[in-house]
Each structure stands twice: as structure tokens, then as C-alpha cells.
Amino acid sequence: MTDRGESALVVRLVAGERAAFEALYRRHMAALIRVAMGIVESRAVAEEVAQDTWVAVLQSIGGFEGRSSLASWIFAILINKARSRASRDGRMVSFDAGGEEDNLAAAFDGRGHWKDMPELWDEVTAERIVAGRTVLAQVTLAIDALPAGQRAVLILRGQEGMEAGEVCAALGITEANMRVLLHRARLTVRAHLDGLVRGVG
């Protein structure tokens, strides 16, 4: 679904207005590279794929019909390009949630009780993290260490604020699969933050 602001932006892009493109580029470029980095082998290749994506976006913006948001359309192009680049380089990338266990598997005893009880993150400790290492930078660090599928889901659904259905369409996964990936991704980020809190506290 396209809101009025987005239609206006599309019109400006079709007209070839540089400022419109610049705004779009600045808003999404970092996330495009981060999503691509989960799929291709290096940051350099991810940057190349992101550049290619922008060229493709400008080439086909005239045919954009607003059936999805502009962002999800752009990310779908990126993911296609990143995947074909990865397979050309002999890399197999799957967004499937199957197989890998989540990081809580070892957190419980045989009866399903916590071995080590989680404790509330008190605000003072959280503030100390924010002051010391900037908590958002830590969140980004943790996201960028996730496997491709979890990383893409957390960036698109969380940081880019895309609708669940749009994330699924862009990645070619089911909604059930997306929920599993989102949950696992959050578990890992939570564990990272908990480690920091305990370390600081």
C-alpha cells in the first residue's frame, strides 16, 4: 500500500529529480548493504550489489505500481540481485528457519526451568551502557552478526518497519517462517545486551 507522501516521491523519482533520489538513497543505503552482507561474501560485493540495485530501481521506477511499499520493492530487488550474485560465486544462501537451534536451547534444565534466572535490566545499568558504548550501536553490531535470514527479517521488519507480508514477499518465505526467524534474531540480540548488562553491572 502506498501513502500519499510515497506516491509524490515516486512521481519525483520518475521525473528524475536528484533530491528525491538522494533522500531515498540516504534513507535505505545502509540497510541495503547490511542485508546484502548476510548473503554475499564481502562488504565490497554487498556495496556493489546495492549500487546495482539503485540503478535497477531508477530504471524501472516508471513501472512501480504501488502494490507494495517502495521500500519493500527496493529490498526485493536487492535480495534477488544478492542471491544471484551469491550463487554465481558458488554460495548457497537459505532463509529457511529449519535446522539451526535457537540460543536458548542450553538455558533450561531437563524440566524446562531456567538454569540461570534472567534478571530485570534496571535502567541505571541500561543508561551506563548507553553512555559507555551506545546501546544502538551494540544492537546493530549484534544484528550484523546474525545469519542471513534472521538478519534480513530483523532489519526489514524492525529497523525498516516493513509489514510482515511485505517482508515475506521480499524474502520469499512464509509468515510462520518469518516469525521463527524474528524470534531467534531477537533472542540473540537479547543475549548480547544481557551480556553487556551483566558485564557492566
Exposure pattern of 23-60 as b/e (b: 16+ CB <10 Å)? ebeeebeebbbbbbbbbbeeeebbbbbbebbbeebeee
167 binds other proteins (CB under 8 A): no
Nearer to other proteins, 53 or 68 (CB): 53
Nearer to other proteins, 79 or 153 (CB): 153
44 binds other proteins (CB under 8 A): no
158 binds other proteins (CB under 8 A): yes
Say if CB 39 and CB 151 are below 8 A apart.
Answer: no
Of 29, 45, 76, 93, the one binding other proteins (CB under 8 A) is 29
C-alpha pair distances (Å), 84 with each of 49, 155, 164: 10, 21, 24
What's CA 52's distance to the chain center, in Å? 19
Of 1, 118, 131, 199, the one binding other proteins (CB under 8 A) is 118
* Residues in binding contact with other proteins, number by CB under 8 A: 47
Q: How far is the CB of 121 from other proteins (least distance, A)?
A: 6
Of 59, 92, 98, 99, the one binding other proteins (CB under 8 A) is 59
Q: How far apart are CA 60 and CA 131, in angstroms?
A: 44
* Span 176-195, contacts to other proteins by CB under 8 A: 179, 182-183, 185-186, 189-190, 193-194
Say if CB 128 and CB 174 are below 8 A apart.
Answer: no
Dihedral of alpha carbons 11, 16, 22, 28, sign: positive
144 binds other proteins (CB under 8 A): no
DSSP letter string over 150-192? HHHHIIIIIIS---HHHHHHHHT--HHHHHHHHHHHHHHHHHH
Which residues in this chain contact other proteins in the complex, by CB under 8 A?
A: 16, 18, 21-22, 25-27, 29-31, 51, 54-55, 58-59, 104, 107-108, 111-114, 117-121, 126, 135-136, 139-140, 143, 154, 158-161, 179, 182-183, 185-186, 189-190, 193-194
